[in-house]
Protein backbone atom coordinates (compact mmCIF):
# COMPACT_ATOMS: atom_id res chain seq x y z
CA UNK A 1 0.00 0.00 0.00
CA UNK A 2 1.31 3.43 -1.02
CA UNK A 3 0.21 6.26 1.28
CA UNK A 4 0.84 9.89 0.36
CA UNK A 5 -0.89 12.83 1.99
CA UNK A 6 -4.54 11.92 2.52
CA UNK A 7 -4.52 9.26 -0.19
CA UNK A 8 -3.87 5.53 -0.26
CA UNK A 9 -3.17 3.56 -3.45
CA UNK A 10 -3.36 -0.17 -4.06
CA UNK A 11 -0.27 -1.89 -5.57
CA UNK A 12 -1.66 -2.02 -9.13
CA UNK A 13 -3.23 1.45 -8.99
CA UNK A 14 -1.29 3.79 -11.32
CA UNK A 15 -0.69 7.30 -10.03
CA UNK A 16 0.01 10.39 -12.13
CA UNK A 17 2.32 13.13 -10.87
CA UNK A 18 1.88 16.32 -12.90
CA UNK A 19 4.90 18.59 -13.37
CA UNK A 20 4.50 22.27 -12.54
CA UNK A 21 7.73 24.16 -13.12
CA UNK A 22 8.20 27.36 -11.11
CA UNK A 23 11.21 28.29 -13.20
CA UNK A 24 11.71 30.79 -16.02
CA UNK A 25 13.97 28.45 -17.99
CA UNK A 26 12.60 24.90 -17.88
CA UNK A 27 13.66 22.71 -20.79
CA UNK A 28 10.09 21.83 -21.75
CA UNK A 29 7.88 24.90 -21.30
CA UNK A 30 10.45 27.72 -21.17
CA UNK A 31 8.80 29.30 -18.14
CA UNK A 32 5.12 28.94 -19.06
CA UNK A 33 4.16 28.32 -15.42
CA UNK A 34 6.67 30.62 -13.74
CA UNK A 35 3.96 33.16 -12.91
CA UNK A 36 1.26 32.28 -10.39
CA UNK A 37 -1.84 32.50 -12.58
CA UNK A 38 -0.76 30.10 -15.35
CA UNK A 39 0.79 27.80 -12.75
CA UNK A 40 -2.48 27.58 -10.79
CA UNK A 41 -4.39 27.03 -14.04
CA UNK A 42 -1.98 24.19 -14.83
CA UNK A 43 -2.69 22.62 -11.43
CA UNK A 44 -6.45 22.88 -11.94
CA UNK A 45 -6.26 21.28 -15.39
CA UNK A 46 -3.91 18.54 -14.23
CA UNK A 47 -6.23 17.58 -11.38
CA UNK A 48 -9.22 17.59 -13.74
CA UNK A 49 -7.30 15.33 -16.14
CA UNK A 50 -6.54 12.76 -13.46
CA UNK A 51 -3.35 13.77 -11.65
CA UNK A 52 -3.27 12.76 -7.99
CA UNK A 53 0.09 14.43 -7.31
CA UNK A 54 1.32 17.90 -8.25
CA UNK A 55 5.13 18.08 -8.40
CA UNK A 56 6.37 21.64 -7.95
CA UNK A 57 9.94 22.49 -8.87
CA UNK A 58 11.82 25.74 -8.35
CA UNK A 59 15.08 24.87 -10.11
CA UNK A 60 15.50 23.38 -13.59
CA UNK A 61 17.34 20.07 -13.62
CA UNK A 62 19.93 21.03 -16.21
CA UNK A 63 22.74 23.58 -16.14
CA UNK A 64 21.81 27.24 -16.12
CA UNK A 65 21.71 30.36 -14.02
CA UNK A 66 22.48 29.72 -10.36
CA UNK A 67 19.43 29.47 -8.11
CA UNK A 68 20.17 29.94 -4.43
CA UNK A 69 18.24 28.14 -1.72
CA UNK A 70 16.62 31.46 -0.81
CA UNK A 71 15.42 31.96 -4.38
CA UNK A 72 14.18 28.38 -4.58
CA UNK A 73 12.18 28.98 -1.39
CA UNK A 74 10.76 32.19 -2.85
CA UNK A 75 9.63 30.36 -6.00
CA UNK A 76 8.00 27.43 -4.22
CA UNK A 77 6.79 28.09 -0.68
CA UNK A 78 4.04 30.62 -1.37
CA UNK A 79 2.84 28.59 -4.32
CA UNK A 80 2.71 25.37 -2.28
CA UNK A 81 0.65 27.21 0.35
CA UNK A 82 -1.80 28.45 -2.27
CA UNK A 83 -2.16 25.04 -3.91
CA UNK A 84 -2.77 23.54 -0.47
CA UNK A 85 -5.49 26.13 0.17
CA UNK A 86 -7.24 25.63 -3.17
CA UNK A 87 -6.82 21.86 -3.49
CA UNK A 88 -6.90 20.42 0.04
CA UNK A 89 -6.98 16.79 -1.14
CA UNK A 90 -4.29 16.88 -3.80
CA UNK A 91 -0.89 15.40 -2.95
CA UNK A 92 1.73 18.14 -3.14
CA UNK A 93 5.26 17.09 -4.03
CA UNK A 94 8.24 19.41 -4.23
CA UNK A 95 11.20 18.59 -6.46
CA UNK A 96 14.24 19.67 -4.43
CA UNK A 97 17.54 18.28 -3.22
CA UNK A 98 17.99 20.84 -0.42
CA UNK A 99 16.99 20.10 3.17
CA UNK A 100 16.28 23.75 3.97
CA UNK A 101 13.89 24.02 1.03
CA UNK A 102 12.25 20.73 2.03
CA UNK A 103 11.62 22.02 5.54
CA UNK A 104 10.17 25.29 4.24
CA UNK A 105 7.69 23.61 1.90
CA UNK A 106 6.68 20.99 4.46
CA UNK A 107 5.84 23.81 6.86
CA UNK A 108 3.16 25.05 4.44
CA UNK A 109 1.69 21.67 3.47
CA UNK A 110 3.90 19.65 1.12
CA UNK A 111 3.25 15.90 1.40
CA UNK A 112 6.18 14.50 -0.58
CA UNK A 113 9.81 15.47 -1.21
CA UNK A 114 11.04 14.41 -4.64
CA UNK A 115 14.82 14.09 -4.29
CA UNK A 116 15.90 13.72 -7.91
CA UNK A 117 19.64 13.98 -7.11
CA UNK A 118 20.09 10.81 -5.11
CA UNK A 119 20.49 11.99 -1.54
CA UNK A 120 23.22 14.54 -2.24
CA UNK A 121 21.92 16.39 0.85
CA UNK A 122 21.38 13.64 3.44
CA UNK A 123 19.45 16.11 5.57
CA UNK A 124 16.49 15.98 3.16
CA UNK A 125 15.49 12.52 4.37
CA UNK A 126 15.73 13.79 7.95
CA UNK A 127 13.33 16.59 7.03
CA UNK A 128 10.87 14.10 5.52
CA UNK A 129 11.02 12.08 8.72
CA UNK A 130 10.51 15.12 10.92
CA UNK A 131 7.40 16.23 9.06
CA UNK A 132 6.00 12.79 8.27
CA UNK A 133 6.33 13.49 4.56
CA UNK A 134 6.99 10.96 1.83
CA UNK A 135 10.30 10.72 0.00
CA UNK A 136 11.35 9.78 -3.54
CA UNK A 137 14.75 8.06 -3.51
CA UNK A 138 16.40 8.47 -6.89
CA UNK A 139 19.48 7.07 -8.59
CA UNK A 140 21.60 9.86 -10.07
CA UNK A 141 24.89 8.01 -10.42
CA UNK A 142 26.62 10.23 -7.91
CA UNK A 143 26.20 13.28 -10.14
CA UNK A 144 26.22 16.76 -8.66
CA UNK A 145 22.91 18.63 -8.99
CA UNK A 146 22.30 20.30 -12.34
CA UNK A 147 25.16 18.57 -14.16
CA UNK A 148 24.98 16.47 -17.30
CA UNK A 149 26.56 13.01 -17.52
CA UNK A 150 29.95 12.79 -19.19
CA UNK A 151 31.31 9.41 -20.27
CA UNK A 152 29.62 7.76 -17.30
CA UNK A 153 30.06 3.99 -17.07
CA UNK A 154 28.50 1.18 -15.03
CA UNK A 155 29.45 -2.48 -14.84
CA UNK A 156 25.72 -3.15 -14.41
CA UNK A 157 23.50 -0.09 -14.40
CA UNK A 158 20.51 -1.79 -12.79
CA UNK A 159 22.64 -3.31 -10.04
CA UNK A 160 23.89 0.20 -9.24
CA UNK A 161 20.36 1.60 -9.34
CA UNK A 162 19.11 -1.06 -6.93
CA UNK A 163 22.02 -0.64 -4.55
CA UNK A 164 21.60 3.13 -4.35
CA UNK A 165 17.83 3.47 -4.29
CA UNK A 166 17.13 0.63 -1.89
CA UNK A 167 19.91 1.91 0.37
CA UNK A 168 18.40 5.40 0.37
CA UNK A 169 14.92 3.99 1.02
CA UNK A 170 16.07 1.86 3.93
CA UNK A 171 17.95 4.79 5.45
CA UNK A 172 14.84 6.96 5.15
CA UNK A 173 12.74 4.41 7.02
CA UNK A 174 15.41 4.08 9.71
CA UNK A 175 15.25 7.86 10.16
CA UNK A 176 11.48 7.69 10.60
CA UNK A 177 9.99 8.28 7.17
CA UNK A 178 6.83 6.13 6.93
CA UNK A 179 7.71 3.00 4.94
CA UNK A 180 4.47 3.21 2.98
CA UNK A 181 5.43 6.73 1.84
CA UNK A 182 8.85 5.94 0.34
CA UNK A 183 9.32 5.45 -3.42
CA UNK A 184 12.31 4.55 -5.56
CA UNK A 185 13.13 6.08 -8.96
CA UNK A 186 15.71 4.79 -11.50
CA UNK A 187 16.51 8.38 -12.48
CA UNK A 188 16.24 8.29 -16.26
CA UNK A 189 18.85 10.62 -17.83
CA UNK A 190 20.32 11.52 -14.42
CA UNK A 191 23.92 10.33 -14.39
CA UNK A 192 23.12 8.12 -17.39
CA UNK A 193 23.47 8.05 -21.14
CA UNK A 194 20.63 6.96 -23.41
CA UNK A 195 21.62 3.28 -23.41
CA UNK A 196 21.67 3.28 -19.60
CA UNK A 197 18.17 4.76 -19.45
CA UNK A 198 16.85 2.26 -21.99
CA UNK A 199 18.33 -0.63 -20.02
CA UNK A 200 16.87 0.74 -16.80
CA UNK A 201 13.46 0.82 -18.49
CA UNK A 202 13.51 -2.75 -19.78
CA UNK A 203 14.70 -4.00 -16.37
CA UNK A 204 12.19 -2.05 -14.29
CA UNK A 205 10.66 -5.30 -13.06
CA UNK A 206 13.83 -5.80 -11.00
CA UNK A 207 13.06 -2.58 -9.13
CA UNK A 208 9.42 -3.57 -8.70
CA UNK A 209 10.56 -6.91 -7.24
CA UNK A 210 12.18 -5.06 -4.30
CA UNK A 211 8.71 -4.26 -2.96
CA UNK A 212 9.25 -0.50 -2.97
CA UNK A 213 6.80 1.48 -5.16
CA UNK A 214 8.57 2.60 -8.32
CA UNK A 215 8.28 6.13 -9.71
CA UNK A 216 9.42 6.90 -13.25
CA UNK A 217 10.12 10.35 -14.65
CA UNK A 218 10.12 9.77 -18.40
CA UNK A 219 8.39 12.79 -19.83
CA UNK A 220 10.03 14.16 -22.98
CA UNK A 221 13.52 13.31 -21.73
CA UNK A 222 16.69 13.14 -23.78
CA UNK A 223 16.82 9.34 -23.88
CA UNK A 224 13.46 9.43 -25.67
CA UNK A 225 14.68 12.17 -27.99
CA UNK A 226 17.92 10.37 -28.84
CA UNK A 227 16.18 7.03 -29.33
CA UNK A 228 13.89 8.57 -31.93
CA UNK A 229 16.02 11.56 -33.02
CA UNK A 230 13.28 14.01 -32.04
CA UNK A 231 13.46 17.48 -30.44
CA UNK A 232 11.78 18.17 -27.10
CA UNK A 233 8.39 19.14 -28.53
CA UNK A 234 8.18 15.93 -30.62
CA UNK A 235 8.79 13.36 -27.89
CA UNK A 236 5.24 12.73 -26.66
CA UNK A 237 4.68 9.54 -28.65
CA UNK A 238 8.00 8.09 -27.50
CA UNK A 239 7.24 9.10 -23.92
CA UNK A 240 3.84 7.39 -24.01
CA UNK A 241 5.35 4.22 -25.50
CA UNK A 242 7.90 4.16 -22.68
CA UNK A 243 5.09 4.79 -20.19
CA UNK A 244 3.18 1.76 -21.47
CA UNK A 245 6.23 -0.49 -21.15
CA UNK A 246 6.93 0.84 -17.66
CA UNK A 247 3.35 0.25 -16.60
CA UNK A 248 3.42 -3.32 -17.91
CA UNK A 249 6.60 -3.94 -15.92
CA UNK A 250 4.99 -2.65 -12.73
CA UNK A 251 5.97 0.99 -12.18
CA UNK A 252 3.31 2.79 -10.16
CA UNK A 253 3.89 6.57 -10.23
CA UNK A 254 4.46 8.59 -13.43
CA UNK A 255 5.89 12.11 -13.40
CA UNK A 256 4.56 13.73 -16.57
CA UNK A 257 3.77 16.84 -18.57
CA UNK A 258 0.88 15.33 -20.58
CA UNK A 259 -1.59 14.18 -17.94
CA UNK A 260 -4.67 13.30 -20.00
CA UNK A 261 -2.71 11.27 -22.55
CA UNK A 262 -0.82 9.44 -19.81
CA UNK A 263 -4.09 8.62 -18.05
CA UNK A 264 -5.40 6.90 -21.18
CA UNK A 265 -2.19 4.90 -21.64
CA UNK A 266 -2.20 3.73 -18.02
CA UNK A 267 -5.90 2.84 -18.12
CA UNK A 268 -5.38 0.85 -21.31
CA UNK A 269 -2.43 -1.09 -19.90
CA UNK A 270 -4.42 -1.80 -16.73
CA UNK A 271 -7.35 -3.08 -18.81
CA UNK A 272 -5.08 -5.38 -20.84
CA UNK A 273 -3.44 -6.66 -17.66
CA UNK A 274 -6.83 -7.32 -16.07
CA UNK A 275 -6.35 -4.81 -13.25
CA UNK A 276 -9.15 -2.57 -14.54
CA UNK A 277 -12.51 -3.26 -16.14
CA UNK A 278 -13.23 -1.64 -19.52
CA UNK A 279 -15.02 1.69 -19.11
CA UNK A 280 -17.72 0.41 -21.50
CA UNK A 281 -18.38 -3.18 -22.61
CA UNK A 282 -21.10 -3.35 -25.29
CA UNK A 283 -19.42 -5.00 -28.27
CA UNK A 284 -20.88 -8.40 -29.08
CA UNK A 285 -23.49 -8.21 -26.32
CA UNK A 286 -26.43 -6.82 -28.29
Q: Is 112 helix (H, G, I), strand (E, B) or coil?
A: strand
Classified by CATH at the fold level, domain 2-273 comes out as: TIM Barrel (3.20.20)
- Rg (C-alpha) for the chain, rounded Å, is 18
pLDDT at 113: 98
pTM: 0.96
Which sequence spans correspond to the domains of the chain? 2-273
Hey, what's the torsion of the CAs at 254, 104, 80, 97, to 10 degrees?
A: -30
Q: What is the pLDDT of residues 142-194, one digit of tens each?
A: 999 999 999 999 999 999 999 999 999 999 999 999 999 999 999 999 999 99
Which region among 31-35, 131-135, 196-200 has the lowest average model confidence (pLDDT)? Answer: 31-35
Overall average pLDDT of the 64-79 stretch: 96
Q: Is the pLDDT of residue 269 over 90?
A: yes
**Active-site amino acid positions:** 221, 255
Chain centroid, CA 74 distance in Å: 22
pLDDT at 70: 98
Q: Is the pLDDT of residue 203 over 80?
A: yes
- Separation of alpha carbons 274 and 135, rounded Å: 30
- Separation of alpha carbons 183 and 3, rounded Å: 10
Whether the Cβ atoms of residue 42 and residue 28 lie closer than 8 Å to each other:
no
- Separation of alpha carbons 95 and 101, rounded Å: 10
- How does the average pLDDT of the chain come out, rounded? 96
Residues whose CB falls within 8 Å of the CB of residue 209, separated by 6 or more in sequence, listed in order: none
Residues whose CB falls within 8 Å of the CB of residue 10, separated by 6 or more in sequence, listed in order: 1
- Output 111 or 23, whichever has higher pLDDT: 111
Q: Is the pLDDT of residue 41 over 90?
A: yes
Model confidence at 34, pLDDT cuts 50, 70, 90, reads confident
Amino acid sequence: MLRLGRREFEPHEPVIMAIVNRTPDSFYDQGATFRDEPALARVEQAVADGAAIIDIGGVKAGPGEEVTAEEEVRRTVGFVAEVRRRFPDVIISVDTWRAEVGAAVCEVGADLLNDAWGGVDPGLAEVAARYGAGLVCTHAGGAEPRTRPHRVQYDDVMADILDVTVGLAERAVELGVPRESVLIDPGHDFGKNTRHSLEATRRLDEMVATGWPVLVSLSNKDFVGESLDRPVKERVVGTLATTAVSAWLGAQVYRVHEVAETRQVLDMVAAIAGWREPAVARRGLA
